[in-house]
Amino acid sequence: MNHSSDALLAGQPRIRATGTGVQSTIPQRSGWAVPLLLMGIVLPSGLQVLIAGAKLTPTRISLILLLLPALARLLQPARRLLLSDGLAGTFALAMVGAAGYAAGPQSAFSAVAEALDFVAAYFVARAFVLEPPAVQQFIRLVKVFTAIAVCAAVADVLTGRWIVRDAMAALMSQPEAFVDDGTSSEDGVRVGLRRAIATFDHPILYGVFCSLAAAIVLFSATSAIKRLSWACLCLFGGLLSLSSAAVMGMVLVMSSYAYDRLLCRFPWRWPLFWTGAGMFLVAVTAVTNNPLSWLLSHATIEPQTGFYRLMIWDAVSAQVWQSPLTGAGFVTFGYYLLDRTVDSVWLVTSLHYGVPVTILLIVLNLSAMLPVRGHRPTDIQRGFTVACMVFLFTGLTVHFWNYMWTFWGVCIGVRASLREWQMLGGQDEQF
């Protein structure tokens, strides 16, 4: 069989476990799969085509092309299916089923699109980002694309305009998707500066992405100079968004990395960390009258922003509990707090699909991070674990959509693949 490097499936792994680890019988490359999976970082979602009413972005087209080859690769005898794989498939079916049951076929169609963006991204990452060369290619591209995004963000601030977004609005003739009057501190200008958006759909999404990139590159860089350089670049880029979520994410990443390095000689440091985090949440719940109010008010730069988000939580929660098992689907409520400004991925998921689907999303994240008996987590595994935790925590005050929703599925998929690599007997030092 000819394994051309130009083919989409180049480098399809044929893995066999041996007493000394995992061996591959062909060149360990993922071809164009990883670039296609990550190109949404630099190609804005405004670059899209409409086919039969469906919006197809470059990322969504790539996922459609890669999904079946990814599933075929995962089902090879040499691969090992994980708990997270079953949970991801269940998550997609539950999304479509709940939305269709609550609001009919059109709602189910919208759920299919969201499931494709997230779950297909998970399976493509699971299939193609397994062996060390593919993981290293993934990290290199994250670095390159992050640098491009930060450059675009700098241009936003210096010019006072969203350069990429304005260009897409003119190119695709969709001005209604890019309207901004510059008067809203949340969406346009804050402290007299244009909030950077780069190639993303919102300053908050761009800022959180910078913190995610910091987690990946900090735990994968091979030298102190590289770690410092990339950390500074991601921090600088995130601050350009003028977003409290970006600051919160960056604090989580930097503190996690510092904690890991300061206690690197102690294998019990991460069990202690998670125990401490759990005790902190218990303490907040026991001491404060309203734990959620305390968390939201202390997780934002401006107190009024926290109180506004608390008002959103109160309004949306009341609607969620009217149909907690299946949600309301994709419908219009006629109330702006429900129709436009739900700033929490947990609220949006519960509103559309119900509380069980939200719990399933949390369990999917945690299942990808399960330890492998006889192995300690590698630095790269810790980086993707921290990235997933940033998604989980910032999701209290951020709703992820378009490419950031896809990138979440990608990060979970890569973390699960790193776990599979250890289960197959792969050598950790190869990373």
DSSP label of 309: H
Assess contact for 392 and 362: CB atoms under 8 A: yes
User: What is the Cα 248 distance to its own chain's centre?
Assistant: 15
Q: Tell me how far apart the alpha carbons of residues 55 and 70 are, in angstroms, rounded to a whole number.
A: 22
Q: What is the pLDDT along the chain (431 residues), one digit of tens a residue?
A: 343 333 333 344 444 444 444 544 433 456 789 999 999 999 888 788 877 777 888 899 999 999 999 999 999 999 999 999 999 999 999 999 999 999 999 999 999 999 999 999 999 999 999 988 999 999 999 999 999 999 999 999 999 889 888 888 777 655 444 344 333 444 577 777 889 999 999 999 999 999 999 999 999 878 888 888 999 999 999 999 998 889 989 999 999 999 888 888 888 887 888 788 778 777 766 776 666 666 666 666 565 666 677 777 778 888 888 989 999 998 887 776 676 777 889 999 999 999 999 999 999 999 999 988 888 888 899 999 999 999 999 998 899 999 999 999 999 999 999 999 999 887 665 55
Tokens of 46: 């405004």
Beta strands 193-194 and 189-190 are antiparallel
Tokens of 134: 């593919």
Contacts 24+ apart (CB under 8 A), 360-365: 360/87, 360/90, 360/91, 360/94, 361/91, 362/392, 363/87, 364/84, 364/87, 364/88, 364/91, 364/412, 365/391, 365/392, 365/412
For residue 211, give the nearest of 386, 333, 25, 73 by alpha carbon. 386
